[in-house]
């Protein structure tokens, strides 16, 4: 008596046991397939690092083929970038209305610091050569991974409250707080201290964009006093 039956006799929800893992014979397409590949890529990056991740290893983990994967992400750099972007999308940063740009931006930088673990710093360094070979850079990588929505929300609140002069919100000034925070993390390989966050927010950013024209003078007077200790957590 035969105990094996053709899969089509078992219906569309039949499963195969491959390598101890149950997989559906239903073909994945579109977003479902892309999510499976990006989750597999993130698992490879977490376990093996960028140097150890290959398109072949990701395809195997995602139970798809390398050509299918390469049609969407032809290089390891593009795949790693997409996997990182998916993780940021799944774990968004949200800053509530706290009544002041100082407090909200300080909290944003604290969230940013907390999520940049040592393996992510290593990932950035490991990707640098491939980015250069592809004519890309960290600025392009940032644009593909994050959309800057939390910062835009904070600044809009600040403008609406009259804290910030919108004419001073140039692209360079808008990017300055996160650029300085990112540089500090990369250079020190440590989380941001409360004092560094205070300096970035109060001594640098707000001095440049605050609506009060007396901002620089007020900042100078404040610098003569002992800076107040603030915690951003």
For the stretch 195-228, pLDDT in tens is 999 999 999 999 999 987 554 444 444 444 555 5
Q: Rounded to whole angstroms, what are the CA distances from 226 to 81, 102, 205, 219? A: 43, 18, 19, 12
Phi, psi of 111 (to 5 degrees): -60, -45
pLDDT at 15: 39
Cross-strand pairs, 210: 164
* pLDDT tens, position by position, 21-70: 344 446 667 889 999 999 999 999 999 999 999 999 999 999 999 999 99
pLDDT band for position 14 (50/70/90)? very low
b/e code 72-105 from CB counts within 10 Å (16+ = b): ebeebbbbbbbbbbbbeeeeebebeeeeebbbbb
Those residues whose C-beta lies under 8 Å from the C-beta of residue 5, and which sit 6 or more positions away, are none
The Cα–Cα gap between 75 and 83 comes to 12
We find that the CATH architecture of domain 94-224 is: Orthogonal Bundle (1.10)
The HSE-up count of residue 114 (CA atoms within 13 Å, CB side) is 12
pLDDT band for position 231 (50/70/90)? low
Residue of 24 and 231 predicted with greater confidence:
231
Residue 117, SS3 per DSSP? coil
Residue spans of the domains in the chain: they are: 15-89, 94-224
We find that the CATH architecture of domain 15-89 is: Orthogonal Bundle (1.10)
The Cα–Cα gap between 204 and 208 comes to 7
* 198-203: long-range pairs with CB below 8 Å, 24+: 198/106, 198/227, 198/230, 198/232, 200/109, 201/101, 201/102, 201/105, 201/106, 201/109, 201/177, 202/102
* pLDDT tens, position by position, 144-154: 888 889 999 99
* pLDDT tens, position by position, 179-198: 999 999 989 988 999 999 99
Cross-strand pairs, 227: none
The HSE-up count of residue 221 (CA atoms within 13 Å, CB side) is 4
Those residues whose C-beta lies under 8 Å from the C-beta of residue 80, and which sit 6 or more positions away, are 41, 45, 50, 53, 123, 127
């Amino acid at each position: 008596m035969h105990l094996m039956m053709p899969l089509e006799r078992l219906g569309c929800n039949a499963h195969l046991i491959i390598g101890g893992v149950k997989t559906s014979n239903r073909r994945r397409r579109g977003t479902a397939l892309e999510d499976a590949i990006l989750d597999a890529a993130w698992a490879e990056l977490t376990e093996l690092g960028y140097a150890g991740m290959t398109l072949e290893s990701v395809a195997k983990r995602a139970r798809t083929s390398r050509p299918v994967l390469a049609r969407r992400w032809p290089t390891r750099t593009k795949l790693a970038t997409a996997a990182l972007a998916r993780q940021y999308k799944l774990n968004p940063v949200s800053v509530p209305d706290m009544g002041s740009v100082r407090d909200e931006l300080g909290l944003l930088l604290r969230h940013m610091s907390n999520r940049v673990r040592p393996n992510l710093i290593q990932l950035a360094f490991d990707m640098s050569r491939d980015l250069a070979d592809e004519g890309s850079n960290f600025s392009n990588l940032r644009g593909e991974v994050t959309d800057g929505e939390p910062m835009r929300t904070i600044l809009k609140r600040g403008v609406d409250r009259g804290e910030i002069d919108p004419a001073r919100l140039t692209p360079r000034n808008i990017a300055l707080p996160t650029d300085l925070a990112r540089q500090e993390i990369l250079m020190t390989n440590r989380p941001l201290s409360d004092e560094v966050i205070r300096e970035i927010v109060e001594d640098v950013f707000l001095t440049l964009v605050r609506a009060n024209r007396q901002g620089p003078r007020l900042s100078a007077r404040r610098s003569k006093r002992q800076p107040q200790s603030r915690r951003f957590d």
